[in-house]
Amino acid sequence: MPDTIIENPILNSPFREPGRHWRFTDEGITNEIVETRRASAYFVPIPPPKKKGKQLQFDTEWTQDRIEPNDNVNRIRQRVKLWREREYGGVTQVTRKLLQHWRDPDRENKLFFCQIEALETLIFLTEAAEKVGDNWIKTWLGEVNAASNPGLNRIAMKMATGSGKTVVMAMLIAWHALNKIANPKDSRFSDTFLVVTPGITIRDRLRVLWPHDAENYYRLRDLVPPDLIGQLGRAKILITNFHAFKIRKLVETNKLTKEILGTDFDESPAQMVNRVCREFDSKRNIVVINDEAHHCYRRKPDGEAETLKGEDRTEAEKRNEEARVWISGLEAVRDKIGIRGFYDLSATPFFLRVPVADDTMQGDQPTYRYLWPRIREELPRKG
C-alpha cells in the first residue's frame, strides 16, 4: 500500500452535517477529497488469521469489493434530512420545543450534529415516519429483529468513539419522559428507564443521567429548556450492570439436599426482575437503554461456528455466557413488566488487527516486548 500523507484529517465541522470525505480505494485511504457526505457502509468480515511458522499472517486488504452499503440506513438518513428541512412535521409540542432548543444557533453549549441526528432519527421513527408514508421502516426493523432478537424490537445508534453517547442517552430520556409527563395517555412514551451497562465503572460514569445528580447533563449540557427542567425529577431512572440479571440462589444447600428435594433453590426469572427493578414499584412498559450494546446478543442457531482453541475458546465462551445473561435478563424484564422502547448504543469500530497476547519469539525475548528498538530506525526524522 502506498504511503498517504494527510496533514489535517478533519474536513467537517462537528456542528454541521458532514459534506466532504476522504476517498477510499482498493489501495486504502487516499488524500483525495470527495465533496459529499460519506455513505453508510460496512466491511465484510475477513477470515480469521492463519499461522505461518511462528508468526500470524493477516489478510489486511480492505478493498472496495469488501464494502457493503447500508442501503436502508442511507435511505432513512435521506428521509430524516427531508423531514428536518420541512420543519419536523407531525411531532408533539414538547418534541418540537426540544428540537428547537437543541438546534438553537445561539446556544452557548452547542451539540454535535451526530448527537442531534441520532435523536432526530428516533423521533422520526416514533412520531412521523408512518404519517409521511414511510411505513416500510417499521416493517424492515421488525423483520431484522425477528431474525436476530425475537420479541425484542431493538433500535441501535452506532456512533463514533468520542462523539458523546452519554449526551444522546440524556436527550433520549428527556424526550421520552417530558412527552409522557405532558400526556400520560400517550402510549408511545415512557417516564421509566432501565439503563444497562457492561461494568461498574461505566455505571458510575452514567450518574449524570440522574436529574437529581449535581453534575447531571440536563443542566450541565443545557439539554432541557429551563421551564421544563423541573419536570424531569418525576422520571424514574435505574442504572445497573448486566451482572444483576444473573439468577441468584435463594438458599445455599449441599448436593444431597438438592438431589432429595429436586431443586437448586434458584430465583425464578420473575423473582430476579422483582429484585432488579424494585425501584419501579408498579411501573410498566419501561424504556431500556443498553450502553455498549454490542455485548448483548444471542448467537443464531444457524450462525457460522468459530473453531477456537485454548485461551481464545475460553474467552469466546465467557463472552457468549455474559451476552446470554444480558439478553435473557432483558427478556425476563419484558415478560414481567413490559418494555416500551429498546435502544442500543455502541461506539465499537471494526476490529483492529493489533497484537494483544504475543508469544512469538525473536531470540530469547517476545517479539513485541521491546518494540521501540525494532522500529526507531525506520521512523521519519520529522513530524
Compute φ and ψ for 203, nearest 5 degrees. -60, -45
51's grid cell: 499461522
Could you tell me the CA-to-CA distances from 35 to 11, 76, 159, 162 in Å, in that order? 10, 21, 22, 24
25 beta partners: 28
Predicted pLDDT of residue 264: 65
| Average pLDDT score over residue span 352-365 | 51
pLDDT of residue 37: 96
354 confidence band (pLDDT: 50, 70, 90):
very low
What share of the chain has pLDDT > 90, as a percent?
64
Percent of the chain surpassing pLDDT 70: 81
The sign of the dihedral angle between the CA atoms of 294, 299, 305, 311 is positive
Q: Which of 72-86, 88-102, 247-261 shows the lowest mean pLDDT across its residues?
A: 247-261
What would the mean pLDDT of 88-110 be, rounded to a whole number? 97
pLDDT over 60 at 284, yes or no? yes
277 has pLDDT over 80: yes
Residue 263 has pLDDT above 80, yes or no: no
CA gap 68, 361 in Å, rounded: 38
Say yes or no to pLDDT of 257 above 70. Answer: no
Residue 255: per-residue pLDDT: 64
- d(CA 157, CA 117) in angstroms, rounded, equals 10
What's at 280, amino acid-wise? F
For the chain, where do the domains classified as CATH 3.40.50 start and end? 70-297+309-346
pLDDT score recorded for residue 4: 73
Query: Distance (Å, rounded) from C-alpha 174 to C-alpha 94?
Result: 10
Q: Taking 70 as the threshold, does the pLDDT of residue 356 lie above it? A: no
Rounded CA-CA distance 238/50 in Å is: 45
Average pLDDT over residues 66-71: 88
Q: CA 124 to CA 216: how far, in whole Å? A: 26
- 348 neighbors 319 (Cβ within 8 angstroms): no
Whole-Å CA distances, 343 to 83, 113, 156, 234, 288? 22, 19, 6, 21, 6
DSSP letter assigned to residue 328:
H
At 145, which amino acid appears?
N
Q: d(Cα 105, Cα 238) in Å, to the nearest integer?
A: 33
pLDDT for the residue 107 = 94
* DSSP-derived secondary structure for 196-243: EESSHHHHHHGGGGSTTSTT-HHHHTT-S-TTTGGGGGGSEEEEEEGG
What pLDDT sits at residue 248?
Answer: 92
Classified by CATH at the fold level, domain 70-297+309-346 comes out as Rossmann fold (3.40.50)
Grade residue 135 by pLDDT with cuts at 50, 70 and 90. Answer: very high
The per-residue pLDDT for range 107-125, each reduced to its tens digit, is 999 999 999 999 999 999 9
pLDDT in tens, 239-254: 999 999 999 988 666 6
List pLDDT tens digits, range 166-210. Answer: 999 999 999 999 999 999 999 999 999 999 999 887 778 899 999
Is pLDDT above 90 for 345? yes
Check pLDDT > 50 for residue 351.
no
Locus of grid cell 452506532: 158
* C-alpha distances in Å from residue 346, one per residue of 124, 192, 266, 370: 20, 22, 33, 34
Instruction: For residue 363, give the 3-state DSSP assignment.
Output: coil
Residue 355 pLDDT class (50, 70, 90 cuts): very low
